[in-house]
Amino acid sequence: MTAICTDRGMFLYVVLILVQNGNGEGCTQIRKNGHYSCGGRNLTYIPTSIPSSVEMLDFSFNFLPTLQRTVFPQLYNLKLLDLTRCHIHHITDDAFHNVKNVTTLILTGNPISYTGLDGLNSLHKLHRLVLVDTGLSSLNVQFSNLTELRELNVGTNNVQSVALPPFMINFRDFSSLDLHANNISILRVNDTNVLRQMKGNITLILSRNPILFIEPGAFQNLHLRELNIRSAFISLDAQRDGLKALVGLNVGKLIIGSYRAHHAKTTETNDLDGLCLINYEEFYFYQNQWLDLSSHVFRCMVNATKITLKRGRIRVIEPVSFRQLKELYIGKNGLEEIPQLSNIQSLEKFVVVDNDQVLFRGLRDMPSLRHVDLSRNLMSLRSCCFEYFRDTPNIRHINLSLNANIMLLAKPFSGLDLLEVLDFHHTEIGVVGQFGLLQNLKYLKYLDLSYTSNTFGSTSSFYGLTSLKVLKIAGNAFQKETLGYLFENLIALEVLDMSNCDIDRLVWRDFRDLQRLQHLLLSQNRLMVLDFLAQTNLPSLTRLALDQNGITSIPQNTLQNLPKNLSIFDISFNPINCLCTQRDFIQWIIEHQKMFPKPHNVLCKTLQTDSKMRAIDFDVESCIHAQILTVVLSMCAVLLFVFASVLAYRFQFYLRYSCVLLRGYRASRQQECSYDAFVIYSSKDESWVMDELVENLENGIPPIHLCLHVRDFEAGKAITSNIIDEGIMGSRKIIVVISKHFIESSWCRFEFEVAQSWLVTQGNANIIIIILEDVEEEKTKKVFGLHKHLKKNTYLKWSGKPISNMRFWIRLRKAVMMRN
Ligand SMILES: *[C@@H]1O[C@H](CO)[C@@H](O)[C@H](O)[C@H]1NC(C)=O
Ligand SMILES: *[C@@H]1O[C@H](CO)[C@@H](O)[C@H](O)[C@H]1NC(C)=O
Ligand SMILES: *[C@@H]1O[C@H](CO)[C@@H](O)[C@H](O)[C@H]1NC(C)=O
Ligand SMILES: *[C@@H]1O[C@H](CO)[C@@H](O)[C@H](O)[C@H]1NC(C)=O
Ligand SMILES: *[C@@H]1O[C@H](CO)[C@@H](O)[C@H](O)[C@H]1NC(C)=O
Ligand SMILES: *[C@@H]1O[C@H](CO)[C@@H](O)[C@H](O)[C@H]1NC(C)=O
Ligand SMILES: *[C@@H]1O[C@H](CO)[C@@H](O)[C@H](O)[C@H]1NC(C)=O
């Protein structure tokens, strides 16, 4: 019993090892250039499958409690080593011996309690060292030999001082020290000594620290590239005093604000006064939650070149004379009015977005202004646009999208001739489609009029836009016949978006001038046929979106004529007819899946709206079987027909005679008999019939009136009709003259058979048979019914001898005259 258990234990152990090995071997190569990922596999060693040429190794979330020399094979090409959260406690002296060329080492989230003196120091080429969340309590780490170090990230630790170890003075390329989320509460002048002696241009990140006090002068004469003190102070008061203590600092980018809500929701007028003591170029104020700012917010920013405010609520802004401001970004600020800035000669970019129904009175006299973004403000403008942009001749970019409504003047963009980008999407502007309002914009490259409640009725809507590359007019409408001329002369156009425009038909001439068109978006229309594609000459087209239309099928000639460079073809969510008759089309879809952005969304038409059937799942094979079946069936049908024809030929008389029967049956039974007897005979026996039969019967007393087809049939009437009408119907009796010739003549046989069955159907079997010459019994069988008839009924036999002739004529006359 125990033995078995042990065995099973062994077995499980082996399986575990195998699984682990399997995982290890399964490290995935992310990119060609030697980037491997073994992340999150709880590995305890570096898999042997990693080639020595590996340059980047992501070994995060594994299990390497002690880093020592044997952990790493020789990976001298390795540049980036990510050991995030690998449970590393110990780093021995020779730990990185085999990976000594690493330039980036990430040790985030390891509870490192011991680092050998030379542990990190052997990484002479290290540029970037990440020691986030490693339980560090000071910056006195053993890395004095890392003179190439540029970036040190010791965020989320317990460091209490920004004081750098003195040896860092020698780190000549050092450029970034990240101390976010540590326990720094006090900054003294001495703490920045090393920083001051370094070459400068360093980024210092102190965000999310509980700074209480900064000793004034701590930053005097420091030159920083960037200082991030967002949420770096324990309170707004500490921030106000802290900012003042930054006196004398020179910094490129100053980032302040808060991640969390302050207790106070309003700032005091003098809260940002400290900024007047700092020399900075770019100012960023980011709030996560609303904070009311005073109207003096810009007072100490007159020297800034770039100002960004997010979520600092400013109700009113005092006018400020900026001296070198190039960019102003105000986002989500609950503004009531867009600042009436004028005469800022340096301003190039003006962005005020995300305010609610803000008032805009225009911008004046800004010769450098190139970029204006007033989107997402829900504002209403009357008499746009040049009235709002006076003496701003260099504007290239105006974004007025996502506003409420904008009314355009007659020449809305006069004086703004250099415009390159114009975006009005989701703003009601109406009249662009009715007049050629954009004619002066010959440099315009990008025009977005999507969802602007336009109906394009004027063919000159886009007149003059010879540089236009991108035109978006989704969600609008077209008057009939406008489309054919709307895009005339847009010779530079590369992107055309006409999604959701209720288009049900396009013709090739709509696009005939668009030789450079690369993307054509026609999603969400009502197109059912794509015949315009068969002729359209769109040589540059690479992307064609036709999703959510009414396309059921695309004919082969269209598919064959698709533009050569087309690589994205979207026909998702169309009611494709998945039928065997469409086999070629569906086969085409299956073979060209790469062209479809989401082949799974190419769906078949189904009756139930909730059921989905993908075109690529359609079983084309079954169609081939069905086709084979059809071929076989039709071949059978052909064979059957041939067979039937052969039969029909073989038995043509029976057929004919059935026809005759049917016809005769329809004829009146009341017909008067105009002959006493109809004679059926072979024409080769005509001499006997004429000389003997006619002579003896017609000239006797009483005369018997015979019907002979040579003599009595109506000319021009079909023979069969004659047989029926004149012969059989018109005579009381039928005389059949049997001879060898008779048997051999198919016509005679036919007549006999018709007569026989006619009389049978009429109920009187008045056939008188004359055997003119002996016929072998076998031969009589050839004539349907004759053999039987001869057996059952008496017949007259012609012998040619005068005595018996006498009796023959008497009997024949009697038989003919007999009424029944
Ligand atoms: C990872 O491996 C270690 C040792 O091999 C083990 O103690 C730990 O439970 C494993 N963790 C998981 C999630 O498998
Ligand atoms: C670090 O630098 C010191 C002094 O230059 C040198 O003695 C020591 O060997 C170096 N350590 C390593 C691991 O290179
Ligand atoms: C932060 O530092 C203060 C002393 O400056 C100390 O009292 C406090 O315990 C430290 N906090 C943590 C989480 O270590
Ligand atoms: C700081 O960097 C900027 C741009 O990277 C450079 O123009 C400037 O000369 C640098 N200043 C110092 C002191 O290195
Ligand atoms: C702006 O710069 C000028 C000179 O460069 C200086 O005199 C003035 O104090 C500065 N203003 C502020 C608010 O920093
Ligand atoms: C205009 O602004 C909207 C909303 O802010 C943005 O999505 C769009 O990309 C902008 N247009 C251009 C051309 O930059
Ligand atoms: C099609 O693509 C090829 C390769 O990208 C390019 O050289 C060629 O000019 C394109 N043809 C057209 C008509 O744009």
Separation of CA 44 and ligand 1 centre (Å): 9
- pLDDT category, 819, cuts 50, 70, 90? confident
* Nearest atom within ligand 5 for CA of residue 277: 14
Please name which ligand lies nearest the alpha carbon of 19: 1
Q: What is the pLDDT of residue 22?
A: 39
Token pair 């698709």 in the structure block, residue:
562
Q: What is the mean predicted confidence (pLDDT) over 771-780? A: 80
CA torsion sign, 39 to 43 to 45 to 48?
negative
pLDDT digit string (tens) for 107-125?
Answer: 999 999 999 989 999 999 9
- pLDDT category, 688, cuts 50, 70, 90? confident
Q: What is the pLDDT of residue 659?
A: 66
- Alpha-carbon torsion, ordered 751, 755, 758, 760, to 10 deg: -140
Residue 294: which residues within 8 A CB-CB, separation 6 or more?
267, 268, 269, 271, 272
Instruction: Give the closest residue (by CA) to ligand 1 atom 4.
Output: 63
Helices and strands per DSSP (H, E), number in the chain: 18, 40
Q: What is the pLDDT of residue 544?
A: 95
- Check pLDDT > 60 for residue 16: no
Separation of CA 183 and ligand 3 centre (Å): 6
Quick one: which of 168, 166, 159, 167 has its CA closest to 187? 159
Any atom of ligand 1 within 6 Å of the Cβ of 44? yes
Token pair 């019914």 in the structure block, residue:
785
* Nearest atom within ligand 7 for CA of residue 565: 1
Q: What is the pLDDT of residue 764?
A: 52
The angle formed by the CA atoms of residues 23, 24 and 28, to the nearest 5 degrees, is 85
- Check pLDDT > 50 for residue 13: no
Q: What is the mean predicted confidence (pLDDT) over 516-530? A: 95
Instruction: Give the closest residue (by CA) to ligand 5 atom 6.
Output: 303
Enter the tokens of residue 102.
Answer: 């690493």
Whole-number Å distance between alpha carbons of 696 and 702: 11
Any atom of ligand 7 within 6 Å of the Cβ of 540? yes
Q: What is the pLDDT of residue 130?
A: 97
- pLDDT category, 61, cuts 50, 70, 90? very high
- Check pLDDT > 90 for residue 144: yes
Whole-number Å distance between alpha carbons of 663 and 165: 124
Q: What is the pLDDT of residue 755?
A: 76
* Nearest atom within ligand 3 for CA of residue 183: 1
Q: What is the pLDDT of residue 516?
A: 94
Query: Which span out of 2-11, 21-30, 240-249, 776-785 was modeled with the highest average pLDDT?
Result: 240-249
Separation of CA 202 and ligand 2 centre (Å): 26
End-to-end Cα distance, the chain: 115
Any atom of ligand 6 within 6 Å of the Cβ of 421? yes
Give 263 or 273, the one with higher predicted confidence: 273
Mutation probe of ligand 3 site: the residue of 179, 183, 184 with most atoms within 8 A of C-beta: 183
Q: Buried b / exposed e across 408-423, counting CB within 10 Å, b at 16+?
A: beeebbebbeebbbbb
- For the chain, the residue count is 820
Average pLDDT of the chain is 86
pLDDT digit string (tens) for 294-319?
Answer: 778 889 999 999 999 998 888 777 88
Q: What is the mean predicted confidence (pLDDT) over 632-636? A: 89
Q: 374-378, 517-521, 540-544, 783-787: which range is least confident on average?
A: 783-787
- Check pLDDT > 80 for residue 49: yes
- Give the single-character DSSP code of 691: I
- pLDDT category, 243, cuts 50, 70, 90? very high
Q: What is the pLDDT of residue 762?
A: 60
Residue 115: which residues within 8 A CB-CB, separation 6 or more?
90, 91, 141, 142
Separation of CA 444 and ligand 7 centre (Å): 25
Residue type, position 110, single letter:
N
Instruction: Give the strand pairing for 519-521 and 495-497.
Output: parallel
Q: 309-313, 383-387, 751-755: which range is least confident on average?
A: 751-755
Q: What is the pLDDT of residue 670?
A: 46
Cβ atoms of 706 and 679 within 8 Å: the answer is yes
Token pair 């609950």 in the structure block, residue:
334
Residue type, position 577, single letter:
N
316 to 271, 313, 426, 493, 711: CA distances (angstroms): 17, 9, 28, 43, 127
Please name which ligand lies nearest the alpha carbon of 87: 1
The domains of the chain are located at 571-618, 673-817
Q: What is the pLDDT of residue 534?
A: 75
Q: What is the mean predicted confidence (pLDDT) over 545-567? A: 92
pLDDT digit string (tens) for 166-210?
Answer: 999 999 999 999 999 999 999 999 999 999 999 889 999 999 999
Please name which ligand lies nearest the alpha carbon of 62: 1
Mutation probe of ligand 1 site: the residue of 16, 38, 42, 61 with most atoms within 8 A of C-beta: 42
Whole-number Å distance between alpha carbons of 507 and 485: 11
Any atom of ligand 1 within 6 Å of the Cβ of 63? yes
pLDDT digit string (tens) for 90-103?
Answer: 999 999 999 999 99
Cβ atoms of 339 and 317 within 8 Å: the answer is yes
Any atom of ligand 6 within 6 Å of the Cβ of 490? no
**pTM score:** 0.73
Instruction: Give the closest residue (by CA) to ligand 7 atom 12.
Output: 540
Separation of CA 177 and ligand 3 centre (Å): 21
- pLDDT category, 4, cuts 50, 70, 90? very low
Q: 271-280, 296-305, 597-606, 737-746: which range is least confident on average?
A: 737-746
The count of other CB atoms within 10 Å of the CB of residue 167 is 13
Separation of CA 57 and ligand 1 centre (Å): 21
Q: What is the mean predicted confidence (pLDDT) over 575-584? A: 88
607 to 366, 546, 573, 575, 612: CA distances (angstroms): 62, 22, 14, 10, 10
Q: What is the mean predicted confidence (pLDDT) over 357-362? A: 90
Q: What is the pLDDT of residue 779?
A: 77
**Which residues form ligand 2's pocket by a CB distance below 6 Å?**
118, 121-122, 145
Q: What is the pLDDT of residue 661?
A: 62
Backbone angles phi, psi at 555, to 5 degrees: -70, 155
Separation of CA 540 and ligand 7 centre (Å): 7
Separation of CA 252 and ligand 4 centre (Å): 10
The angle formed by the CA atoms of residues 387, 390 and 396, to the nearest 5 degrees, is 100
Cβ atoms of 387 and 408 within 8 Å: the answer is no
The angle formed by the CA atoms of residues 354, 358 and 364, to the nearest 5 degrees, is 105
Whole-number Å distance between alpha carbons of 558 and 573: 19
Any atom of ligand 6 within 6 Å of the Cβ of 445? no
Whole-number Å distance between alpha carbons of 472 and 494: 11
- pLDDT category, 786, cuts 50, 70, 90? confident
Q: What is the pLDDT of residue 657?
A: 64
- Check pLDDT > 60 for residue 2: no
* Fold of the domain spanning 673-817: Rossmann fold (3.40.50)
Q: Buried b / exposed e across 488-511, counting CB within 10 Å, b at 16+?
A: bebebbbbbbbbbbebeebeeebb
Q: What is the mean predicted confidence (pLDDT) over 449-464? A: 92
Exposure of 215 in the CB half-sphere (CA atoms within 13 A): 10
Instruction: Give the closest residue (by CA) to ligand 2 atom 4.
Output: 145
Q: How far is CA 122 from the centre of its chain?
A: 53
Q: What is the mean predicted confidence (pLDDT) over 782-790? A: 75
Q: What is the mean predicted confidence (pLDDT) over 535-561? A: 90
Quick one: which of 498, 467, 466 has its CA closest to 482? 498
Enter the tokens of residue 592.
Answer: 């060209």
Give 562 or 203, the one with higher predicted confidence: 203
Give 54 or 797, the one with higher predicted confidence: 54
pLDDT digit string (tens) for 424-442?
Answer: 999 999 788 888 899 999 9
Q: 231-235, 292-296, 400-404, 552-556: which range is least confident on average?
A: 292-296
